[in-house]
């Protein structure tokens, strides 16, 4: 008989941070930089731990150039060629410390990252990304990547439960990507019924990872800067953004004009759109698990980044955290039934 | 004094599957076929146990032709004549192993059912369908049908609780239809206040049925492929779909054009629309218990079927079930407050 876990799992929308006494005088005093040393690669990292997602519309070289200015990170999508990488590396060597190369788990994927890492030796991060991080094949793939690249920092996912975070860390991954189905253009939950509310997933997975000196990325589900703060508050070491970074000049794809308004296309990486673009269509044994939306064109990403960082700084002052590092220790979530006053809409 | 059952009953939207370790490499490795031997008829079934509902818009011969190609099942609605059945069975004998003839519980219904089964001996499934499976009269009707047709597999319902599932199985039914009020065009819950959240109904009824080697159909409440997966995960042997199959070429009814967009009519079988069509209107002593909606026209049902089966295969890989049979054993549901991101809706 199926089992039901009765305690309710929570999403970002189900909580708010409770304010606490604070000695900070201004948001400007808050330090968002974090330093990590990774468990398996022994590599060290310093920066503001927000990552642009490895989607072909968001994880672009252009995004990496803009985000690097703020010490943010970009997981470059896997569809650039080795030549694209060589060219980017020669023009912008300074960016390489804040980007990762992404890969799936196919044999050709492995060959391609090997070629990219050989062509760009300064590259230190590999992001191994599959929809279902629970497959045995994926664990073996992570082990193979670790063996071939002993000193590269490996991000791996996606999973949503503690035991699988532990398994992947012990298999050689340094940073585990957490999130199944929370993304704005992800339809996995509708197509399969599988998923885990993101706040609970982050709390549980962070606990598992930190116990082994590993790290996690909260991947998906952030719709506003407050959600980014909640992810950090829940214990995420990094927060990955897709939809929030879509629609900017640095995002992939053309600007579409309709009735005098400008849009850009944004879509999940298992959507019809992405599968048509990269593999010629949806295979007949599977369903598309992503949607395609037109998001309003928002211009350069700088403004959005300032907005996100300003929001997170403000969160820190509300709970009295002088550094981002202290945020999760100072976090008390209260459960709520609505996020904000909706008299004038949801924005 | 009224009693309140304090534990919360759950709908599909209240849960998600927790992913589990899996040794599957690809969704293509998942086997969705199931084989059953039924308790009372002793007949054997093999196929993908998804059923088009016996509504006059979805339980059509046209639907059966497409669905049987994928080994899916169709409960043919009860408004076809004996002649219609003769033509269909002569033209498409290959479909007959994947269809049921439906019937209400009146004498006229029984006569028509007998005539159809006599005319089409290859037909092996009977679907006895009433809004309220709790009536003593219905139990007697099931017994009568079982007596007349000892070797036909009988589906009967609808009910939502274990004790009534047991009663119907012991009265001769093989497969119990579970669901009161969950359907997309059903208004029973609003008109009467009666109903049972579908996920809990399926879990409880499956448990009762399986204890007697009976089977159940989760009937109603599926709004997306994930819900179909949840019904199977909860223990349903079959899942019946109405609204998810509405609006296709294979559905009865004309395409309606409005402002350049195409629609098809879909309605509950106790709605004004259905009652006007078949019994000349809503009787004075009763309320309509269904609504009528215009659903966007969706073309061939083939694409929708692929989408549902693809989703179901993906669910199986997420919980490590190589066969649909294993899905409910590998299922742990977690309780949630929202299904998916509302950012771009």
The pLDDT of residue B27: 85
Q: Taking residues A27-45, report their average pLDDT.
A: 96
B3 assigned ligand-binding residue: no
**Could you tell me the strand order of the sheet in which A255-258 lies?**
A255-258, A261-267, A292-296
Report how far apart the first and last C-alpha atoms of chain B are (Å, whole number). Answer: 45
The beta-carbon neighbor of A197 closest among B28, B308, B336 is B336
- Which chain A residues have a beta carbon less than 8 Å from that of B24? 135
The beta-carbon neighbor of B336 closest among A9, A190, A191 is A9
Give the span between the Cα atoms of B141 and B133, in whole angstroms. Answer: 11
The beta-carbon neighbor of B224 closest among A164, A181, A190 is A190
Whether residue B16 and residue A193 make contact (CB cut-off 8 A), yes or no, is yes
Whether residue B16 and residue A196 make contact (CB cut-off 8 A), yes or no, is yes
Burial of B156 (0-12, 13-18, 19+ CB in 10 A): buried
B145 assigned ligand-binding residue: no
Q: Is residue A289 within 8 angstroms of chain B, CB to CB?
A: yes
* Residue whose token pair is 């007349």: B148
Mean pLDDT of chain A: 95
A274 Cα distance to chain centroid = 18
Q: pLDDT per residue over A120-155, tens digit each? A: 999 999 999 999 999 999 999 999 999 999 999 999
Q: pLDDT per residue over A238-281, tens digit each? A: 999 999 999 999 999 889 999 999 999 999 998 999 999 998 88
Whether residue B226 and residue A192 make contact (CB cut-off 8 A), yes or no, is yes
Residue of chain A minimizing CA distance to B343: A184
Residues in CB range of B239: below 8 A, 6 or more apart:
B49, B50, B51, B217, B218, B222, B228, B231, B232
- The secondary structure of chain B in percent helix, strand, coil, rounded to multiples of 5, reads 35, 20, 40
Both tokens of residue B186?
Answer: 């059903």
Strands (E), chain A: 3-8, 15-17, 34-37, 44-47, 50-52, 73-76, 99-103, 125-129, 153-159, 175-178, 215-219, 238-241, 255-258, 261-267, 292-296, 333-335
Is the confidence at residue A318, as pLDDT, over 80?
yes
Residue of chain A minimizing CA distance to B313: A286
Strands (E), A279-332: 292-296
C-beta separation of A181 from B315 below 8 A:
no
A297 Cα distance to chain centroid = 21
Q: Is residue A335 within 8 angstroms of chain B, CB to CB?
A: no
Q: Which residues pair with A37 in a beta bridge?
A: A44
Give the span between the Cα atoms of B195 and B192, in whole angstroms. Answer: 8
DSSP A14: G
List of chain B residues with pLDDT < 70: none
3-class state of residue A265 by DSSP: strand
* Torsion angle of C-alpha atoms B50, B55, B58, B59, degrees rounded to 10: 70
B179 assigned ligand-binding residue: no
In this structure, of A296-305, A308-317, A330-339, the range with the lowest mean pLDDT score is: A330-339
The beta-carbon neighbor of B333 closest among A2, A192, A287 is A2
Give the span between the Cα atoms of A6 and A1, in whole angstroms. Answer: 15
Q: Taking residues A271-299, report their average pLDDT.
A: 90
ipTM of the complex: 0.88
Confidence of residue A346 (pLDDT cuts 50, 70, 90): low
3-class state of residue B258 by DSSP: strand
Window 19-38 of B: residues touching A by CB (8 A cutoff) are: 19-25, 27-28
The pLDDT of residue B153: 98
- Which chain B residues have a beta carbon less than 8 Å from that of A186? 340-341
- Which chain B residues have a beta carbon less than 8 Å from that of A196? 16, 18-19, 334
Tell me how many residue pairs between chain A and chain B have CB atoms under 8 A apart. 182
Q: Is residue A14 within 8 angstroms of chain B, CB to CB?
A: yes
3-class state of residue B87 by DSSP: helix
The CA–CA distances, whole Å, from B277 to B270, B282, B296 equal 11, 10, 22
Whether residue B333 and residue A161 make contact (CB cut-off 8 A), yes or no, is no
DSSP B19: P
- Which chain B residues have a beta carbon less than 8 Å from that of A193? 12, 15-17, 225-227, 229-230, 233, 315
The CA–CA distances, whole Å, from A136 to A103, A108, A276, B327, B329 equal 17, 19, 27, 18, 19
Q: Which of A188, A273, A304, A331 is catalytic?
A: A188
| CA neighbor of A27 nearest in space, from A263, A238, A225, A237 | A225
User: What's the whole-model pTM score?
Assistant: 0.92
The pLDDT of residue A149: 97
Active site residue A188: yes
The beta-carbon neighbor of B315 closest among A194, A282, A284 is A194
C-beta separation of A156 from A176 below 8 A:
yes
Q: Is residue B85 within 8 angstroms of chain A, CB to CB?
A: no
Whether residue B17 and residue A195 make contact (CB cut-off 8 A), yes or no, is yes
Confidence of residue A284 (pLDDT cuts 50, 70, 90): confident
Q: For an interface test with B, give the residue of A177, A192, A345 to mutate (most B CBs within 10 A).
A: A192
Q: Which of B127, B186, B205, B222 is catalytic?
A: B186
Backbone angles phi, psi at A79, to 5 degrees: -95, 5
Question: What is the nearest CA distance from B78 to chain A, expressed in angstroms?
Answer: 31
Active site residue A222: no
Is the confidence at residue A347, as pLDDT, over 60?
no
Question: What is the nearest CA distance from A167 to chain B, expressed in angstroms?
Answer: 10
The pLDDT of residue A312: 97
């Amino acid at each position: 008989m199926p089992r039901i876990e009765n305690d309710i799992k929570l999403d970002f929308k189900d909580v708010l941070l409770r304010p606490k006494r604070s000695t900070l005088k201004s948001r400007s005093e808050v330090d968002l930089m974090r330093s990590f040393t990774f468990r398996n690669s022994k590599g060290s990292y310093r920066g503001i731990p927000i990552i642009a997602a490895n989607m072909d519309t968001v994880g672009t070289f252009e995004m990496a150039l803009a985000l690097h200015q703020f010490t943010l990170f970009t997981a470059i999508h896997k569809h650039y060629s080795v030549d694209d990488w060589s060219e980017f590396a020669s023009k912008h060597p300074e960016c390489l410390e804040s980007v990762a190369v992404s890969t799936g788990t196919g044999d050709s994927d492995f060959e391609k990252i090997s070629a990219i890492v050989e062509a760009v030796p300064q590259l230190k991060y590999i992001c191994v990304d599959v929809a279902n991080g629970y497959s045995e094949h994926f664990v073996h793939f992570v082990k193979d990547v670790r063996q071939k690249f002993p000193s590269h920092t490996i991000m791996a996912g996606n999973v949503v439960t503690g035991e699988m975070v532990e398994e992947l860390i012990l298999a050689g991954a340094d940073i585990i990507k957490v999130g199944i189905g929370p993304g704005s253009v992800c339809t996995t939950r509708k197509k399969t019924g599988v998923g885990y509310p993101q706040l609970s997933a982050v709390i549980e997975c962070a606990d598992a990872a930190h116990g082994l000196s590993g790290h996690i990325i909260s991947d998906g589900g952030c719709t506003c800067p407050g959600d980014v703060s909640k992810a950090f508050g829940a214990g995420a070491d990094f927060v990955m953004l897709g939809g929030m970074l879509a629609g900017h000049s640095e995002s992939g794809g053309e600007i579409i004009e309709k009735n005098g308004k400008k849009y850009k296309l944004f879509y999940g990486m298992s959507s019809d759109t992405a599968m048509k673009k990269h593999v010629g269509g949806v295979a007949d044994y599977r369903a598309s698990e992503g949607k395609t939306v037109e998001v309003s064109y928002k211009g350069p990403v700088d403004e959005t980044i300032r907005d996100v960082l300003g929001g997170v700084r403000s969160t820190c002052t509300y709970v009295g955290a002088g550094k981002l590092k202290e945020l999760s220790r100072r976090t008390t979530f209260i459960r709520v039934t609505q996020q904000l006053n909706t008299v004038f809409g949801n924005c | 004094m009224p009693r309140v059952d304090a534990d919360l009953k759950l709908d599909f939207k209240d849960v998600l599957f927790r992913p589990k370790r899996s040794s599957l490499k690809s969704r293509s490795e998942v086997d969705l076929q199931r084989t059953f031997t039924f308790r009372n008829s002793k007949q054997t079934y093999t196929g993908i146990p998804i059923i088009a509902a016996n509504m006059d818009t979805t339980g059509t011969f046209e639907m059966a032709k497409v669905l049987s190609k994928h080994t899916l099942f169709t409960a043919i609605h009860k408004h076809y004549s004996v002649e219609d059945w003769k033509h269909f069975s002569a033209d498409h004998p290959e479909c007959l192993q994947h269809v049921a003839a439906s019937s209400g519980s009146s004498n006229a219904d029984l006569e028509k059912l007998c005539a159809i089964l006599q005319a089409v001996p290859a037909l092996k499934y009977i679907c006895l369908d009433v809004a309220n499976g709790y009536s003593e009269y219905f139990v007697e009707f099931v017994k009568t049908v079982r007596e007349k047709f000892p070797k036909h597999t009988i589906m009967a319902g609808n009910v939502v609780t274990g004790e009534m599932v047991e009663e119907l199985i012991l009265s001769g039914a093989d497969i119990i239809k579970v669901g009161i009020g969950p359907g997309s065009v059903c208004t029973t819950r609003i008109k009467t206040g009666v109903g049972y959240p579908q996920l809990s109904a399926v879990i409880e009824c499956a448990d009762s049925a399986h204890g007697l080697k009976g089977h159940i159909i989760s009937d109603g409440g599926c709004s997306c492929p994930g819900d179909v997966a949840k019904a199977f995960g909860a223990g349903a042997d079959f899942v019946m779909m109405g609204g998810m199959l509405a609006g296709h070429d294979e559905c009865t009814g004309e395409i309606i054009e409005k402002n350049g967009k195409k629609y098809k009519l879909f309605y509950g079988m106790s709605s004004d629309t259905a009652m006007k069509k078949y019994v000349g209107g809503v009787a004075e002593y009763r309320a309509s218990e269904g609504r009528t909606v215009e659903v966007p026209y969706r073309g061939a049902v083939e694409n929708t079927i692929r989408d549902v089966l693809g989703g179901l295969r993906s669910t199986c890989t997420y919980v490590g079930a190589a066969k649909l049979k294993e899905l409910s054993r590998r299922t742990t549901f977690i309780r949630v407050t929202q299904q998916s991101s509302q950012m771009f809706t």
